[in-house]
Structure 1
């Protein structure tokens, strides 16, 4: 009798775990997806180690709404297309709504399927160009005004331990890394910060015409961002299809400044629950 009770208890435990995983999977698929900022491409809006939830209800649902399971250490690499690929290809969405210029969006890379987070700059049918580091949309300048200097410690950031790029050369380990900051105003009135590190080839681009059903994204850390200014063939992102949007980022929930979440002394408490502009 005792053996039967133990077997029944184990079975109930397994069922409880399975149900919990199913509920968590449905919640993540339909409502909110956790996202950890791994790189500095969106500084100073988002910092390495920021943790946020992406609102999947913002733009409706497509194949990209299905979660990916990527654990290279264990040889697991299951993308959204592997789970929901049957819905891929028609560039449409269920209960879809259009994103707005200036939204900070998580999307799936058109080629690799990796999750990216960038700011929406160009809408379908518009032209986008950068001239002298200044953004132009349909020939209209997005004006920039000086907004001081963004500073951070020159040290390892995040689990990958990458060090930031600095506008001031020769910064020693533990020194102050500086980047000029500007306030950019997009057509429609959305304002946000951008950073400048140096003059690069991406400060002067061709004119891009955004195809219908696609979007143009850029990082706020303009000289340290892999985005729509470079095609996927050349290692960039290119134009992002509507169906590849995952959701909108609205607020930083937690923020961990060091190389490990367990280093409590590196937590950035001032960024907890901070709205994303």
Structure 2
């Protein structure tokens, strides 16, 4: 800040009553204090202090200037103390978002535990399958699935997930199984939020565009439709792992299954991520390292 050092020196001279006492308080020489005051008076075009060998006295301009700036050094100290406290322990509002089902099932319980350990955090947790604008809508953190496409944000990998193409046993008995990706257009495909399914072919990532007479942005609704034999769907492991293990759902085109896609912690770019953000991200990542349903 322009003139800040000189203003601080001026305030200390007035409050301490002498140049030498102000110099001792600020840890500089008395001659340095004198130079700062002289420069400040030159900049302002006014005499602030009348100096004698025994004492100092404020001029009219000096009195006015002192009244306006006397509290600024202590205010700066208070501001620095607040930031120091903030850096030591997470405190205050934190706004985050996640896809609905994943958020309800996996993120909300972890964040509730986090709040127990950090009672000064004020959490606003918004569950939606819509890709929110982090900057425009004021979010500190978003949890997103799949490939990262927005390079304007920073991200950390939370965990992996595997997408399974599957159908009910009744559907397979009635309609048969697809054996190639090209055969998908002969089957009843059920869509979620995306118009494409993710596969791997000849070691390369491949997205296959799918058309459907049934679609929903709800994972549980999609899973129910698959279970009832309405068609084929691609769903992540945390939806269908139990059904695949029990045999209620049948895996399809496993030779084309993509190894895994990511779940990401996404946040706006900043010079220094806040302690709240760092603490939340670290806590979530540590939890998912130990979670049995997710690969790392």
TM-score normalised by L of structure 2: 0.24
More helix by share: 2
Higher Rg of the two aligned structures: 2
TM-score by length of 1: 0.25
Hey, which of these two has a bigger chunk of strand by percent?
Answer: 1
